[in-house]
Amino acid sequence: MKTYIVGNWKMNFTVGESSLYLHKLLGKIHSYRDIEVVVAPSLMALQSLSLQTDRRKIKLACQNFYYKDFGAYTGEVSVAQLRSLVDYAIVGHSERRYIFNETDKDIKMKVASALRGGLTPILCVGETESERTFGETVDVIRDQLLGGLSDVAKEDVSKVIVAYEPVWAISGHGKPARVASPLDVADALKIIRNILKETFGPKIASETPLLFGGSVRSLNAESYLSIGDCNGLLIGGASLIAPEFTDIIEIAKRVKNDRNY
């Protein structure tokens, strides 16, 4: 299975800045057969960056979309409009859930829409600090995971990438994030893998890529990538800093080589 390094740029960089930054990354990153590098720029930048990028090195993802294919939905964009530009689609990110009030229904329909349109959805799941404090982590992960996959045919489940992103470990939610320990992450990824195994069987569970996202930096990336169930990282702030992002990619390659040795 590939290792996925996904950079979520969120609402940062103008179109021009995005182009300059992508140019810088392309000059620093090599093409790896077993490492998939993906960046998710703002919607405004996707068109120009899709013409600029070398997809052997860096593929593109959208940060958001609407689940209808076309229609009178002012201000929205569909998978049908995005599929010539991107290969991946982030779905269910905590900022979409908790700031923009996306519902479980919205998220399951987006996952199905992405698959229907030929994109690989990156389904984000994770608990808040209060849910963790009250011992609700397993229930929250189960509800978000199975809810997001509820409109997906069993044979398509392993086409979905699942990213564990605990809200309490993500900066930008009103207070500094706490750092998730490798043990915390290993436990959560094991929960996800077990839920997939119980629901869809061991083969699908083993073939579904699992990522971690939560204030990842080059200093802690190796500790997360070394977790047995971890198949990559979903990176926020560090993906906006070229030396940090490229260092994480090199760390991923080194860990991958060590696993294959």
Is 93 labeled as catalytic in the residue annotation? Answer: yes
Rg (C-alpha) for the chain, rounded Å, is 17
- 38-59 pLDDT, tens digit per residue, is 999 999 999 999 999 999 999 9
pLDDT, position 6: 98
- What residues are paired with 66 via a beta bridge? 78
Report the domain count for the chain: 1
Cβ–Cβ contacts within 10 Å for residue 243, how many?
11
Tell me the percentage of the chain whose pLDDT exceeds 70.
Answer: 97
Strands (E), 80-201: 88-91, 120-125, 161-164
Whether 165 and 96 have beta carbons less than 8 Å apart is answered as no
Is 95 labeled as catalytic in the residue annotation? Answer: no
Active site residue: 36, 102, 127, 165, which one?
Answer: 165
- Low-confidence residues in the chain, pLDDT < 70: 171-177, 261
Active site residue: 36, 93, 102, 244, which one?
Answer: 93
Q: Which domain holds residue 73?
A: 3-260
Q: Is 135 exposed, middle or buried (0-12, 13-18, 19+ CB in 10 A)?
A: exposed
| CATH code of the domain covering residue 199 | 3.20.20.70
- 191-227 pLDDT, tens digit per residue, is 999 999 999 999 999 999 999 998 899 999 999 999 9
As a whole number of angstroms, the distance between CA 94 and CA 96 comes to: 5
